[in-house]
Chains A and B, each alone.
Chain A
Amino acid sequence: MTATVAPPVSPTIDPAPIERTFPPPWMRKVGTISLNVYAGLGLLYLFIPIFVIVIFSFNQPKGRFNIVWQEFTLANWKDPFAIPELVDAFKLSLEIAAISTGVALVFGGLIALALTRYRFRGNAFVNLFLVLPLTTPEIVLGASLASLFIAQGTDRGFLTILIAHVMFCVSFVALTVKARLRGFDWSLEDAAMDLGAGPMRTFTKVTFPLMIPGLLAAAMLSFALSLDDFIITLFNAGTEVTFPLYIFGVRQRAIPPQINVLATTVLVVSVALLIIGTVAGRMRERSRTSPH
Chain B
Amino acid sequence: MASAMSPKTSGSGDAAALGDVVIGINQVTKRFDDFVAVEHANFGIRRGEFFSMLGPSGCGKTTTLRMIAGFEQPTTGQITLEGKDVSKTPPYKRNVNTVFQHYALFPHMSVFDNVAFGPRSKRTPKKEITRRVNELLEIVRLGDYADRKPGQLSGGQQQRVALARALVNYPSALLLDEPLGALDLKLRQAMQIELKRIQREVGITFVYVTHDQEEALTMSDRIAVMYEGHVEQIGSPQEIYHSPASVFVAGFIGVANLLPVNIDSISGANALIQLPGGNKVSLPIGSLAPVVGGAATIMVRPERIFVATAEPEGDLPHLKVSVTDLTFQGPIVRAAVRCADGTELVTHIGDGDDLPMLRPNDHLWLTWEIEAAKLLPGVDERHTESTESNTALIEV
- Chain B residues in 8 Å Cβ range of A185: 102, 104
Asked whether, in the complex, the Cβ of B152 is within 8 Å of the Cβ of A291, the reply is yes
Complex: A196 Cα to B90 Cα, angstroms:
9
Give residues of chain A (174-210) contacting chain B, Cβ–Cβ below 8 Å: 185, 187-188, 190-198, 201-202, 205-206, 209-210
Given contacts A196-B169, A197-B121, A290-B152, A190 and B90 within 8 Å (CB-CB): no
Complex: A86 Cα to B93 Cα, angstroms:
59
Asked whether, in the complex, the Cβ of A209 is within 8 Å of the Cβ of B108, the reply is yes
Given contacts A194-B97, A196-B92, A205-B117, A187 and B108 within 8 Å (CB-CB): no
- Chain B residues in 8 Å Cβ range of A288: 107, 149, 151-152
How big is chain A's contact interface, by range? 20 to 34
* Total residue contacts A-B, CB cutoff 8 A: 77
Complex: A289 Cα to B154 Cα, angstroms:
10
Asked whether, in the complex, the Cβ of A196 is within 8 Å of the Cβ of B121, the reply is yes
Complex: A289 Cα to B149 Cα, angstroms:
10
Asked whether, in the complex, the Cβ of B106 is within 8 Å of the Cβ of A198, the reply is no
How big is chain B's contact interface, by range? 20 to 34
A292 within 8 A of B: yes
- CB B112 to nearest CB in A, in angstroms, measures 14
Given contacts A195-B165, A196-B122, A188 and B151 within 8 Å (CB-CB): no
Give residues of chain A (33-91) contacting chain B, Cβ–Cβ below 8 Å: none
Complex: A194 Cα to B68 Cα, angstroms:
11
- Chain B residues in 8 Å Cβ range of A205: 117
- Chain B residues in 8 Å Cβ range of A290: 152
A4 within 8 A of B: no
Q: Which residue of B96, B117, B152 is within 8 Å of A197 (Cβ)?
A: B117
Q: Which residue of B104, B121, B154, B166 is within 8 Å of A187 (Cβ)?
A: B104
A135 within 8 A of B: no
- CB A85 to nearest CB in B, in angstroms, measures 46
A287 within 8 A of B: yes
- CB A191 to nearest CB in B, in angstroms, measures 4
- Chain A residues in 8 Å Cβ range of B100: 187, 190-191
Asked whether, in the complex, the Cβ of A195 is within 8 Å of the Cβ of B117, the reply is yes
Asked whether, in the complex, the Cβ of A210 is within 8 Å of the Cβ of B108, the reply is yes
B69 within 8 A of A: yes
Interchain Cβ contacts under 8 Å between A and B, 6 examples = A187-B101, A188-B106, A288-B152, A289-B151, A291-B152, A292-B152
